[in-house]
Chain A
């Protein structure tokens, strides 16, 4: 048999437990809008009979008490793993799409003032010279259009270089952010290890840890393992970034290779990988294609010019100097020195100018090279933006799943609050009842007939 007063103790324990439940519910409601907060639940357990006591002395009755066995963080670890993977991919796709979209704005096509239209105007200005080779005004127009083309190409090249520089700066900024997060995670690992060892509640620390892990996944596609003691081990591109309380640092080498603790890492994912890929592949590719446009323009026009004769009948010289988009310039200053004639002798033949005016429709000239560049860029951007949109949707849905298990629902918390409240009221009633029984026992027993 249990002791006479055990009812009081049990009721007190119940009151404490229900109050704790209400506190946890209150904490959930208070943190409903806290980013990264995971809802918690007070785990209640009935207190059973003490085991290992001989049956003769053991009670056949329930102990009647309740206890808090722990406070569980209600996240879904499987979904968290998926969320980190999807966030890593999302960081990569979004960054790639952003960089490409920025590159796209440098080429304003199709428009009335893009490079394609300038090329058309340039070729047409040669047709005017072909019609009237002796007209210096028509020749001056050619020089003006050529200068316009050269400066447009120079500008596009400079814009692309500026974009490359800004992407490079973004990559540096990303490494700083990654390293800050990695250092913070290493410190947190230490705190979690101590807290776990001492049996303290680690839920708040775990929330912080998961926030940092998600950030590292977004930025660097970090791969995470969560150990039994709650600490996290993180690697980037196959290289260890955070292990226990030590954090290495991520950096980008001058050749745009991701280094972790100075060692080259493999493909990492995340924003940083997107930036590095743009720096190593996409942007240099566009710069090379722009150079190809400039080179095709210079070589075709110059070949035609040097095979022709100027207004005075002398052999023509190259119109363009420099063979890259950044260095292209106009080498001729005197309009009479433009070669329009195909025969020597200072006549008004316009066959060279005529040939030049036809170059625009060539399948291998500057126009075709430029169309290829714009087409490639447009396809790249479209693909990147679509992939980014799909990945964003996937990431959102995973986030929503994570929220669905970890997020606070007011309806649910309110219901819990009601439940705990009712249990608290009922436990109070138990207490009162036991008290009344004892009162009867103590104050009114043995007074029969008095």
Chain B
């Protein structure tokens, strides 16, 4: 039989009380910090997973920012091309008018030619539309414009990529040459040609009309391409939003405490501690000395 001595009884009681109060303190720490994992050793695997989730969360947030930036860029491309198409319709009707009047009316053709010149200036400015200071049809050019005043393409065909998801880099670039044609035969050269033909050679306008239609087709193509990219990015963004919610809830499950559960644990730990204190105080009062006279 193990002898119970004053020393061993008080040591045992003290160790038990300390264990109880340290359990309370640890629960208290979790509740005040609101976190299950207050230090890595609370859960090594949880910590590593939390670090990974946090990294993913940051990355997805950045993908969202990238996607928003890409959508801004594509909106600029789309609205520019849309305005350009409208203007080209007007130019087309001017050309048709010029073809109808023929060489008969030099004054009216001169007026048409001037309108075409105006349209060219306006189209040039549209082709130099910029997003956050960068010409959207200029590729990766460091210069401020895609087309110079003479209407020559001064941009490049570099990639303008936005990463909108893991291994999902979308090239937003709509090179000026693809939409408006190669230097020497691009839209602006064509408009110069039309203006000149209106003034001097209305017979050439028939060919110009065909060229204009061909240019229109390539512009519409680029516009629909930009629209397709827009849709693709939007759908990626929707997926990413769902992903973001999932990641947040996973991280929260891992890191944060369940308040109801904690409240119950604290109450039971508190009760155990109080019971231990009460019995320790009662039991250690008694000894044989109490019963001797």
State A126–B10 Cα separation when bound (angstroms). Answer: 63
In whole Å, how far is B260's beta carbon from the nearest beta carbon of chain A?
23
Known contacts A32-B6, A357-B62, A375-B44; A396/B11 CB under 8 A = yes
B59 touches A400 (CB 8 A): no
B288 touches A411 (CB 8 A): yes
B166 touches A354 (CB 8 A): no
B40 touches A410 (CB 8 A): no
Q: Does A104 contact B (CB under 8 A)?
A: yes
Q: Please pick, from A101, A378, A404, the residue contacting B2 in the complex, using a CB distance under 8 A.
A: A404
B289 touches A375 (CB 8 A): no
Q: Does B267 contact A (CB under 8 A)?
A: no
Known contacts A348-B141, A411-B288; A404/B55 CB under 8 A = no
Q: Please pick, from A347, A361, A403, the residue contacting B55 in the complex, using a CB distance under 8 A.
A: A361
State A367–B59 Cα separation when bound (angstroms). Answer: 13
State A104–B40 Cα separation when bound (angstroms). Answer: 7
A382 touches B11 (CB 8 A): no
Contact residues in B for A135 (Cβ distance below 8 Å): 132
A120 touches B58 (CB 8 A): yes
Q: Does B221 contact A (CB under 8 A)?
A: no
Q: Does A351 contact B (CB under 8 A)?
A: yes
In whole Å, how far is A79's beta carbon from the nearest beta carbon of chain B?
11
Q: Does B237 contact A (CB under 8 A)?
A: no
Q: Please pick, from B59, B132, B156, the residue contacting A361 in the complex, using a CB distance under 8 A.
A: B59
State A390–B65 Cα separation when bound (angstroms). Answer: 51
**A90-123, CB < 8 A from B:** 101, 104-105, 107, 109-110, 116-117, 119-121, 123
Q: Please pick, from A130, A371, A401, A409, the residue contacting B51 in the complex, using a CB distance under 8 A.
A: A371
Q: Does A222 contact B (CB under 8 A)?
A: no
B37 touches A110 (CB 8 A): yes
Q: Please pick, from B5, B59, B141, B292, the residue contacting A347 in the complex, using a CB distance under 8 A.
A: B141
- Of A127, A346, A412, chain B has the most CB atoms within 10 Å of the CB of A127
A120 touches B7 (CB 8 A): no
A404 touches B54 (CB 8 A): no
State A400–B8 Cα separation when bound (angstroms). Answer: 6
A121 touches B58 (CB 8 A): yes
Known contacts A346-B142, A348-B141, A354-B169; A407/B41 CB under 8 A = no
Known contacts A116-B54, A348-B141, A349-B140; A378/B44 CB under 8 A = yes
Q: Does B39 contact A (CB under 8 A)?
A: yes
B44 touches A403 (CB 8 A): no
B289 touches A414 (CB 8 A): yes
In whole Å, how far is B292's beta carbon from the nearest beta carbon of chain A?
7
Q: Please pick, from B5, B12, B54, the residue contacting A409 in the complex, using a CB distance under 8 A.
A: B5
A104 touches B47 (CB 8 A): no
B41 touches A110 (CB 8 A): no
| A contacts with B: majority SS | helix
State A440–B200 Cα separation when bound (angstroms). Answer: 174
Known contacts A341-B140, A374-B51; A403/B7 CB under 8 A = yes
A400 touches B11 (CB 8 A): yes
Known contacts A403-B11, A407-B5; A349/B158 CB under 8 A = yes
A380's nearest neighbour on chain B, judged by CB, is B41
Chain B contact patch, size range: 35 or more
State A250–B15 Cα separation when bound (angstroms). Answer: 33
B8 touches A407 (CB 8 A): yes
A403 touches B163 (CB 8 A): no
Q: Quick one: CB contact mask for A371-409 with B, threshold 8 Å, 1 for yes?
A: 100110111011001000000000010011101110111
Q: Does A343 contact B (CB under 8 A)?
A: yes
Chain A contact patch, size range: 35 or more
In whole Å, how far is B55's beta carbon from the nearest beta carbon of chain A?
5
Contact residues in A for B50 (Cβ distance below 8 Å): 109-110
Contact residues in B for A109 (Cβ distance below 8 Å): 40, 47, 50-51
State A131–B70 Cα separation when bound (angstroms). Answer: 8
State A110–B162 Cα separation when bound (angstroms). Answer: 30
Contact residues in B for A358 (Cβ distance below 8 Å): 163
Q: Does A132 contact B (CB under 8 A)?
A: yes
State A135–B69 Cα separation when bound (angstroms). Answer: 14
Q: Please pick, from A110, A381, A382, the residue contacting B255 in the complex, using a CB distance under 8 A.
A: A110
Q: Please pick, from A33, A371, A415, the residue contacting B288 in the complex, using a CB distance under 8 A.
A: A415
A351 touches B47 (CB 8 A): no
**Which residues of chain A have a CB within 8 Å of any CB of chain B?**
32-33, 101, 104-105, 107, 109-110, 116-117, 119-121, 123-124, 127-128, 130-135, 311, 341, 343, 346-351, 354, 357-358, 360-361, 367, 370-371, 374-375, 377-379, 381-382, 385, 396, 399-401, 403-405, 407-412, 414-415, 418
**Which residues of chain B have a CB within 8 Å of any CB of chain A?**
2-8, 11-12, 15, 37, 39-41, 43-45, 47-48, 50-52, 54-56, 58-59, 61-62, 65-66, 69, 132-134, 139-142, 156, 158-163, 166, 169, 255, 287-289, 292
A-B CB proximity, top 10 nearest: A407-B5, A378-B40, A378-B44, A381-B41, A120-B58, A403-B8, A407-B7, A110-B50, A347-B140, A349-B140
Known: A109-B40, A131-B66, A400-B11. 13 other contacts (CB 8 A): A109-B51, A117-B54, A120-B58, A123-B62, A128-B65, A354-B163, A361-B55, A371-B48, A374-B47, A378-B41, A378-B44, A381-B40, A414-B288
Residue pairs across A and B with Cβ atoms less than 8 A apart, 11 shown, are A105-B39, A120-B54, A361-B166, A374-B51, A375-B45, A375-B47, A377-B41, A407-B5, A407-B7, A409-B4, A414-B288
